[in-house]
A = this chain, B = another copy of it.
Amino acid sequence: MSDLESCMITIIQTFHQYSGQKCNLKKADLKELINNEMNNFIVKIKENDTLDKLFADLDQNGDLEIDFKEFIALIAMVTSACNELKAWQGKGKRS
Residues of A at the B interface (CB closer than 8 Å) are 1-16, 36-41, 68-69, 72-73, 75-76, 78-80, 82-84, 87-88, 91, 93-94
Contact = CB atoms under 8 A, between A and B. Distances in A.
Contact residues of A: prevailing secondary structure = helix
Nearest to A94: B10
Contacts of A2: 36-40
A68 B94 contact: no
Given A13-B88, A38-B2, A72 B82 contact: no
Contacts of A83: 12, 15, 68
A10 B15 contact: no
7 contacts: A2-B39, A3-B37, A4-B14, A4-B37, A12-B79, A16-B88, A68-B84
